[in-house]
Amino acid sequence: MPSVCFLYRIGANPKVYYGKYVCDYISDDHEGLDNEVLPDLLNGINIYRQHKNLQTLKKNQIKVGILSCSTNSNYLNYSTKKEIGLFGFYCTRYNQIVKMYVNGKQVN
Angle value at C-alpha 35, between 94 and 56, nearest 5 degrees: 85
Measured CA to CA, the distance from residue 57 to residue 46 in angstroms comes to: 6
Tens digits of pLDDT across the chain (108 residues): 789 999 999 999 999 999 999 988 887 777 889 999 999 999 999 999 999 999 999 999 999 999 998 877 766 667 788 999 999 999 999 898 999 999 999 998
Q: What is the dihedral of CA 60, 35, 21, 88, to 10 degrees?
A: -20
Show me where the domains of the chain are located: 3-106
Q: What is the pTM of this model?
A: 0.88
DSSP alpha helix (H) spans, 1-108: 33-51
